[in-house]
A and B are shown apart, each in its own frame.
Chain A
Amino acid sequence: MDVETLFWVIHLPLMVLFLVGLADVVGIWLQGRVEGVGAASAGRKFLILLGRTLRAVFSRRFPVILKAFITEAWFNRRLWRTSRWRWLSHFFLLNGFLLLMTLSGLAALSEKVLYHLFHLGHVPWIAMWYTADHPVTALLNEIGGVLMTVGLAFYIVRRYLARPAQLRTGSMDTWMVVGLGLILLTGWIAEIVRLNAGYDGPAPYLAFIGYPLSRLVSGWDLPWEMLSEWLFLGHGLLTSVVIVTIPYSKFLHAVATALVATVGGVQQETAMAHGGTAHVPA
């Protein structure tokens, strides 16, 4: 079994587990009241929510939803107002993560679907996403990695070294640091090793951290190609394991906070428009 097959054999069941976990969590949420309905089944409540969401998205209120999502969930203006340093740390982590996830998604889509299934590998703007050393891909991946690393470093310093009195650090916080830290560490090492194994595109130097580091260790007598394969397998599987824990760890806030912040923003905006009150009844 080659390394890639091994990855998918382990990764896919893990993703099923992740989906089961997510369904479990959403199932718990759906035991709450939806639109005042408390006694209905989870399925019925889910349909009510879905209908309401679709009606809101395909209505004149869409700009309000979009605005709330951008200002509250993505930009996190409340954190911006409170502390610029914390905002920066969060912004780096979030956007680094989003960027890397998007790039991974684009790479998988363009290689596994558009290239292998539809034979569109000759289209440059499709091929570039799975060409690691393409100028755009190399640069964006590096930016994503740097953003996440800097954001995580801020987080570690604040939570474990500066330790302001307001913080209550628990095992969930530590798991988040360990999980993200290991993903980042293996990611950086895998990149350095890959660059020593050979280039996949014209601009490896645009990996402005990984490339110089790879040059530093290029003299070492190591089986770079084989190491690269196994390291990417480890990096990928570690990421899969962390994803599986999302529903049961603090990582869930990436989903829950985005939704709560957006919905809250929309409700407040609506309430302000109807009578000038900031209050939103439960």
Chain B
Amino acid sequence: MSRPDLSLFTFQQLMALDACTRCGECVQWCPTYTEKPDLDAITPLRKIEAVRRFVRGQYGLRARLFGPRPPRPEALQAHATGTYDCTLCGRCAVVCPANIQTRELWIAMRRDLVRQGTYPAVFDRLRETFLNAHNISGDDNANRLIWSQNLPQIPEGVGKKTRAEVVFFVGCVASFYPQSYSIPQNAVQVLEKAEVDYLTLGGEEWCCGFPLVIAGMGDAAVETMRHNLEAVRRTGARRLIAACPSCYHTWKHDYPRVLGEPLGFEVLHLTELLVELLTDGRIPLRPLEETVTYHDPCDLGRTSGVYEAPREVIRAVPGVALVEMEHHHQYSLCCGGGGDVEMADKDLVTAVARRRIGEAQATGAKVLLSACQQCKRTLAGAARQEKIRIRVLDVVELVAQQMA
């Protein structure tokens, strides 16, 4: 039963298992290992070494000649713990001298662990919630626009239109977690100001599938992906914007690959649209004399390659001084909120976030900006816990706040 299914890996990934030299560069950069140094199985090199051992023990000439050697249950369990305690931040891929694309490799490993039934039980609940409620919180999906109830006036684009140029894909966290409501609330105000022809999908918006994809349960998300694609196509939109980097990444890269067809519309992160609107002069901004810093969300920066758009938006606010943290751009430290780790190990998330908020504090900035609702939620929580006086905002909140 514990024989890896090699068809869950690509040729390149299996080759990568032999390409890792265990130089340990990744160990120095792994945000979760830094906080959990007693769990060596969490380090990228150990994950690779474990799967290599599992594969070589049961496949190939040696296994055929001398019989397969299945892994000991405790070895498999340790590997599963290490693999699911990873935030999938992808920092290891940036520093890997062998150029191993680790993030995709960890997801393939998770898929194999799911197949073998060695994964945290909490993910079964996630899958069930996802399939039944069409979101990650288990709330009634018809309440997707509950965040709009606090707006002084609910714009037409929020639940009243059926066709528009742009679909604003809100995402589960911003739709159902009150700490993040302000992101879609401010986003629609900015879109209104810029006179963008947009709409939200309301109850027709289902979770993008990202949490299941990265949990290694991507197969269960295919129908949901198809539903979302059809829902967007029905609006006749030419563009889809997502404020959530994970939704953005999933739409832009996973949907065409998994569904095997081009989407037929462009996918943008909200910050990319904001750059356009600011460049066109459609959002005049008031000055703000403030020092701010910016946290690169892993799924927007490292995973999707969008580093400059959020920074351009921040610099567009007159008077704002943007200072970088010790680790930024591709070396940015994870906030801890990724990889579904929150479901498996909350303390680990808190520890990673604490380190990141410490970096933000060290810059002397009064405002910590990000472009991700999960990062905002995680970092704001850490700031509160650590009693650090720094405001944690999404870039779109800054823009909305400074609109003339």
Q: Using a CB–CB distance below 8 Å, which chain A residues touch chain B?
A: 20-21, 24-25, 27-34, 38-39, 45, 49, 72, 76, 78-79, 82, 86, 90, 164-168, 170, 173, 248, 250, 252-253, 255-257, 259-261, 263-265, 267, 271-272, 276-282
Contact of B7 among A33, A49, A170 (CB under 8 A): A33
Answer yes or no: B303 CB below 8 A from chain A CBs: yes
Measured between beta carbons, the chain A residues less than 8 angstroms from B194 are: none
Answer yes or no: B249 CB below 8 A from chain A CBs: yes
Whether A253 and B304, one on each chain, are in contact in the complex, defined by CB atoms closer than 8 angstroms, is no
Measured between beta carbons, the chain A residues less than 8 angstroms from B46 are: 168
A173-B22, A252-B18, A272-B305 as given contacts; A34 in contact with B60, CB under 8 Å: no
Contact of B253 among A49, A164, A263, A279 (CB under 8 A): A279
Whether A253 and B18, one on each chain, are in contact in the complex, defined by CB atoms closer than 8 angstroms, is yes
Identify 25 residue pairs between A and B in the complex whose beta-carbon atoms are under 8 Å apart, listed by A's number: A21-B61, A25-B18, A29-B11, A30-B11, A31-B14, A32-B9, A33-B11, A82-B97, A90-B97, A166-B23, A167-B22, A168-B24, A168-B40, A253-B18, A256-B15, A257-B97, A257-B98, A260-B100, A261-B98, A271-B305, A277-B252, A278-B304, A279-B305, A281-B104, A281-B257
Measured between beta carbons, the chain B residues less than 8 angstroms from A164 are: 24
Measured between beta carbons, the chain A residues less than 8 angstroms from B16 are: 256, 260
Contact of A282 among B28, B59, B60, B108 (CB under 8 A): B108
A25-B60, A29-B11, A29-B15 as given contacts; A250 in contact with B6, CB under 8 Å: no
Measured between beta carbons, the chain B residues less than 8 angstroms from A24 are: 60-62
CA–CA, A33 to B12, complex, Å?
8
Contact with A along B22-64 (1 / 0, CB 8 A): 1111011000000000001001011001000001100111100
Select from chain A the residue with minimum beta-carbon distance to B301.
Answer: A278
Select from chain B the residue with minimum beta-carbon distance to A282.
Answer: B104
Answer yes or no: B95 CB below 8 A from chain A CBs: yes
Whether A260 and B19, one on each chain, are in contact in the complex, defined by CB atoms closer than 8 angstroms, is yes
Whether A168 and B45, one on each chain, are in contact in the complex, defined by CB atoms closer than 8 angstroms, is yes
Contact of B10 among A32, A86, A166, A167 (CB under 8 A): A32
Chain B proximity of A260: nearest CB distance (Å): 4
Whether A260 and B99, one on each chain, are in contact in the complex, defined by CB atoms closer than 8 angstroms, is yes
Contact of B107 among A20, A27, A252, A282 (CB under 8 A): A282
Measured between beta carbons, the chain B residues less than 8 angstroms from A21 are: 61
**A31-B6, A253-B98, A264-B12 known; 11 other A-B pairs, CB under 8 Å?**
A25-B18, A29-B15, A32-B10, A166-B23, A250-B21, A253-B19, A256-B18, A257-B21, A260-B15, A260-B16, A276-B305
Answer yes or no: B302 CB below 8 A from chain A CBs: yes
CA–CA, A167 to B257, complex, Å?
37
Contact of B20 among A253, A263, A279, A282 (CB under 8 A): A253
Contact of A78 among B9, B19, B96 (CB under 8 A): B96
* Closest A-B pairs by Cβ, 6 of them: A166-B24, A282-B104, A277-B305, A38-B7, A264-B99, A31-B6
Whether A32 and B6, one on each chain, are in contact in the complex, defined by CB atoms closer than 8 angstroms, is yes
Taking chain A's interface residues, is the majority helix, strand, or loop, or is none over half, making it mixed? Answer: helix
A24-B61, A31-B6 as given contacts; A282 in contact with B13, CB under 8 Å: yes
Measured between beta carbons, the chain A residues less than 8 angstroms from B99 are: 72, 78, 260-261, 264-265
CA–CA, A168 to B18, complex, Å?
16
Chain A proximity of B66: nearest CB distance (Å): 13
CA–CA, A20 to B16, complex, Å?
20
Answer yes or no: B243 CB below 8 A from chain A CBs: no
Answer yes or no: B254 CB below 8 A from chain A CBs: yes
Answer yes or no: B306 CB below 8 A from chain A CBs: yes
Whether B55 and A282, one on each chain, are in contact in the complex, defined by CB atoms closer than 8 angstroms, is no
Contact of A20 among B7, B10, B61 (CB under 8 A): B61
CA–CA, A206 to B49, complex, Å?
44
CA–CA, A248 to B249, complex, Å?
38
Which among A167, A255, A282 has the highest number of chain B CB atoms within 10 Å?
A282
Measured between beta carbons, the chain B residues less than 8 angstroms from A28 are: 6, 14, 55-56, 59-60
CA–CA, A164 to B28, complex, Å?
10
CA–CA, A264 to B17, complex, Å?
14
Select from chain A the residue with minimum beta-carbon distance to B58.
Answer: A28
Which among B9, B21, B55, B104 has the highest number of chain A CB atoms within 10 Å?
B21
Which among B27, B101, B252, B306 has the highest number of chain A CB atoms within 10 Å?
B101
CA–CA, A33 to B108, complex, Å?
11
Whether B12 and A263, one on each chain, are in contact in the complex, defined by CB atoms closer than 8 angstroms, is yes
Whether B19 and A279, one on each chain, are in contact in the complex, defined by CB atoms closer than 8 angstroms, is no
Measured between beta carbons, the chain B residues less than 8 angstroms from A72 are: 99
Interface positions, chain B 288-313, Cβ under 8 Å from A, are 302-306
Measured between beta carbons, the chain B residues less than 8 angstroms from A32 are: 6-7, 9-14
CA–CA, A224 to B252, complex, Å?
70
CA–CA, A248 to B27, complex, Å?
24
Interface positions, chain B 43-89, Cβ under 8 Å from A, are 43, 45-46, 49, 55-56, 59-62
Whether A170 and B22, one on each chain, are in contact in the complex, defined by CB atoms closer than 8 angstroms, is yes
Whether A279 and B249, one on each chain, are in contact in the complex, defined by CB atoms closer than 8 angstroms, is yes
Measured between beta carbons, the chain A residues less than 8 angstroms from B22 are: 167-168, 170, 173, 250
Chain A proximity of B234: nearest CB distance (Å): 25
Which among B15, B20, B61 has the highest number of chain A CB atoms within 10 Å?
B15
Measured between beta carbons, the chain B residues less than 8 angstroms from A281 are: 104, 253-254, 257
Whether B15 and A259, one on each chain, are in contact in the complex, defined by CB atoms closer than 8 angstroms, is yes
Select from chain B the residue with minimum beta-carbon distance to A261.
Answer: B99
Whether A45 and B11, one on each chain, are in contact in the complex, defined by CB atoms closer than 8 angstroms, is yes
A166-B27, A257-B19, A277-B304 as given contacts; A282 in contact with B10, CB under 8 Å: yes
Contact of B97 among A76, A248, A271, A277 (CB under 8 A): A76
CA–CA, A143 to B59, complex, Å?
41
CA–CA, A151 to B59, complex, Å?
34
Measured between beta carbons, the chain A residues less than 8 angstroms from B14 are: 28-29, 31-32
Measured between beta carbons, the chain A residues less than 8 angstroms from B305 are: 271-272, 276-279
A166-B27, A256-B19 as given contacts; A78 in contact with B302, CB under 8 Å: no
